Structure 1
């Protein structure tokens, strides 16, 4: 059985020299440009007379590349506070490269990564803050997004399965409607070829839909003169989860324990998830 994992990708807009991850801007920094640093120098225009901010992932120490050390404080004002540089171009000067060194721990002489920032005075240009993001931090964020979505999806599957079991096996007085869960047609045959390696009958009972998920209950009956142990790996189709209830082991046919129910959850209707597999 092939499990389909739904992953959320962060939309990245590729621009010259950098990648801007607009999806990472939040809260009061919604107008900031978040830049994933990938070793290429970042060009930062500075409107003359206007202060512009650039924030780094950690405390930093800044210097001017030696060939351009002639740029003086009456041309470029730099204030360094808690990982953020406040830059003001006071007058015209050539494009200048800043070497911004990340500080490791409390030791100001212990440097880590160096960021290359090219500043140039302009008469008019962008004034919004820049936020530099380490690409390793982006990987962590992306993994967290995927994990969070996986947790949310797992919770949805569990809730949907619980509801289906309640509808099938709970007393009428305990059954109830759930917001956003609907019974849907299955568009399938009375019996389907669902499992490999076993002589069993699979009879779709009913299907429910909630959000992007479909859960279908299928009755499984053993037609052998011996017991069989069912496994999710033997089920044909494209499913996100598989739940046997109340058991996975079926005794020989005609015994009181020759049947079970399997709940199959997919991102498509039952007939589509099974299409190309069942006969």
Structure 2
């Protein structure tokens, strides 16, 4: 290159560098931006009366324009399944790790027996689980259940797939053949696929029959009229240590007023002493005390009233004032003493 050309190139290079220097300096000057620095003509004004609508998530409701304009905010009325899903999201929000249900046997079957407590059904989100009942059943589901789970019933088997995690939701199955109600508590969380759940139920009629049989076994057998009479005699004449109770026999109240005409034609004082009951039978012990100066026979055929049986402790008693002037008569009836006396 000639000397002339070299002299021309140097000024040109300096000129180019001079033009780039201001740009480099300007690139180092940073300015914070905000909406206040945006020119007014670039800001798009929102039309009057138009409200900003947020995205709707499960369990949320859009407030109407009147409430938003007035600045009113009220909790949305959520359906049961929506509330359960929302509660599950709150529990897992911010958690670094989800506690998983212990893994069950892969090919095994989980079994449960419904007695009174609801059957808890654990679900894994996105993984179908089978629930088998002993008979076809109709499910009582919340109206919004399809938003959190997909449930199908074919015969005795119900196929359940949780779409999102949710806290326990009560679902009641009604067995079609017997009408028995079986409550379930469905709960869903992330986890592995769970095995089939077989749910057995106790037949309520069989359970009632078994309970009735147990009650009959526990209940003491009723005493017959002979046993009932012997019990009354033992309470009056046996020493206290031998006056034991008879199973199935209970003492009941009776009026102890004198009954002067209980035995027709008998000159004696007659006073009820006690009454006992077993099953449908009653026995009443009546004290008979002679008032005459002569011994007398106890004429049981002259006893007034409608009695099933009548028995005297002694058939003959001594004169009044003697050691043998008193005995007892035991009257058996299918009603109380006062009722049978009339």
TM-score class, shorter: 0.3 to 0.5
Q: Which protein has the bigger helix share? A: 2
| TM-score, normalising length: structure 2 | 0.34
- Structure that is richer in strand per residue: 1
Give the number of the structure whose alpha-carbon radius of gyration is greater: 2
